[in-house]
Structure 1
Amino acid sequence: MRVFGPDEAAAADLLVDAIYQGGRRGGAGDDPLPRLVGVSTGGGFRYRGRIDRLELVVLTSNKRDPDWPDALDRETGVYTYYGDNKVPGRALHATPRFGNALLQRIFEDANAGEEGRQKVPPVLVFTSAGEWRDVIFLGLAVPGVAGQRPAEDLVAVWRTRDESRFQNYRARFTILRTESVARSWIQSIIAGQSDASLAPPVWTTWVETGRVIPLLAPRTIQHRRRAEQLPSDPVGKEVIAVIHAFFAEDPHGFEQCAAELARMMLPDIASLDLTRRSRDGGRDGIGQMRIGTGASAILVDFALEAKCYATSHAVGVREMSRLISRLRHRQFGILVTTSCVDEQAYKEIKEDEHPILVIAAGDIVRLLKDTGYGTPTAVRSWLERSFPSSL
């Protein structure tokens, strides 16, 4: 990974996944982005120009807000970013830094044909490197996702805090397939004379035709290691501990929770019936998922198994083999666990191409965050409300 020091920022190209270091004095002046791309200090939304005439937009994330989990899916190039109306008491667009108004503007322009796309500024995406104020460049982005309806690209989602309901935006961008952004293009934008000939070809293609060419980065190792399946942050670990403790006296009760988590990940589940406790032989539920829409849709059968384990207890080869043996022809399996799958068992699933979806502890944390339950307190309230029989 390339690292640029503070003195190099003003002349450096932007390289995907490179680290750009800030100062080491401990103040706001350490921020490298003003020198790097000519924007203001601080804030998740930064831009050059005016809201009605944007020249450049910078999105940043510190990855420390459990209620608003900005995230990049490196395999698909889709970047999910949340707006700046993160507390109740304000209208959706009435934020101090106008972040939500900015999102509304660029997504409207992105869906208004070539004339609209000409108005969309380059969107540069950064995330915290975890040291001082250093940042990592994630890429050059455009509003929207190929194959997704415009109405799904920018959605106002509801949240509750302190018994007050409010809305914030969830925006989906696509990181374009370019490994670098030239310093010369950035300088032309800063100078107020943007030179399109210096832009990456994928940017020009999108502006002229609307075609999105994403930066795809498929995994080289198909199975996930233990650390990749478990939450790495303290809040995520506490969320899983809350779930495990809630069902500690009634492990069978976790089956209902697992079914709800499966629906969160797969909204197109058409039916899901849990087996009776006395008959539970390793398959905790059977269901059908709808593929397609309307009269042309088809239903695919699946089996669900739930394992409410401590994170120190991985689901092993024996448990996975039992689920595999119970899958009928043209069925797939879903395993939901508050722990993880043993690496050898996971490797065998992938190598033998068994159709099993694993929803591990880390996945559970992400699903709950995306649904608005990002803290242990919120998760505990959700459990008590949704599964009272386990109290």
Structure 2
Amino acid sequence: MLRYAAGKEQAPALLDGFANFHHSTYSPGQKLLLEAGINGVAQVSAIDGGRRPAVLIRSSPWKAGSEQTPWHDVFDLDNGHVRYFGDHKAGLSVAPGATKGKAWLLEAFEGHQAHTPAERAAAAPLLLFRSISIDGKPKGHVEFCGLGLVERAERLVQWSGSGHSTFVNYVYDIALLDLSAEGDQISWKWIDARRDPALTAAETLAFAPLAWREWVKRGNSALPRLRRRMARARVTKMREQRSVEGSAEAVALQAVYERFDDRKHDFEALASAVAARVLRGAGHGYVEGWLTRRSGDGGADFVGRLDVGSGLAGTSLVVLGQAKCIKPGSSVSAEEIARVVARLRRGWIGVYVTTGCYSEPAQLEMVEDQYPIVLVNGMHLARELLAIARDDHGRDLSACVEHVLSGQSAVITNRRPEEILLQRLPGRRTRPGDLRTPDLPRVLRRYYRR
């Protein structure tokens, strides 16, 4: 967040508790403004050719839908995407693309589609800002939203609102680059270096963010990896899911794998018990149901029920579980997780228990698509079993596993998963009225009455 004061003075560094925009972007003899939507920094004739140091974009959400600004810019910062409309308006005498702002963005777009590293190094970076409201005042503050590249430019016809006419405008799809290595900031030394005519474009890269340098080197094919994604913060890397070789978790996991390899239903029973322990550990009530038959399970190996709250202030969720005993260190793909998710209905959640790991693309898809599924990897599985062995079996893992299996009350059946909702809560008498909810299928209500 930056303070954009009307006086436009570069001192002091802080204004009203916010960084001063004019101080943060100050270069000797230069002054940057965000008065327009698209603001190009003056072109430089450097020793290796001309280049524009940067293009600053400002979006004003409070103006969206007005007669002056009939469009609505889209800033999806979590997924690194901005859809930005140009500055053409109804009644302008100049042709679309002939305004200064349009020319700057189309010039940047051409550079962002360049085919060689040298051409990409000279391309103008986009610095995106958004006006924000502080204390109910829509002006005077801006939010730095990131560093961008134009992926696509499109001409379209827009409605001018109260003017009851149409006009041609441009819309730009902009990819925001990942600045996590720089703490979601950029060094202004980079822009200063791009302004220095004595430096080549390649030399200025020494001050550029890591993602920009990678894009210059590899081109747009690297954008899926370089795009800003908040979901990545919730992704656990494969190496972090693997136990240290020789550790107690690694030894236990290998023993579990050797014990249950090619013994599908035995591992499903173990996975069901571990899933129950994990879900109960969050303070919720969990009821184990049954194991599905070997054939025709349709992406589910065990069924349970998660009880949240009590009485009128509670609800129950069907838990659909998948168990997969694979070599420790092997990965579960996004397609395998999606197979379980495809079975889920409203009011259901999934649990996936494996002796392996979850690939980063699988986790990213789960987070971005908001899959209601709990992932238990091999290291987590081993820790839960070691905890049980320590507390109840004198650290004897084999005795712990045998006890879990012998105490496993789950039966193997082909019952429908939603039937778990008919199972009574421990210590409570179930009444017909408890099951008459809008979410229960009519066939289950008939089943209960019988």
Q: Give the alignment's TM-score, normalised by structure 2.
A: 0.40
Structure having greater relative contact order (Cα 8 Å, sep ≥ 6): 1
Q: Give the alignment's TM-score, normalised by structure 1.
A: 0.46
Q: Which has the larger radius of gyration?
A: 2
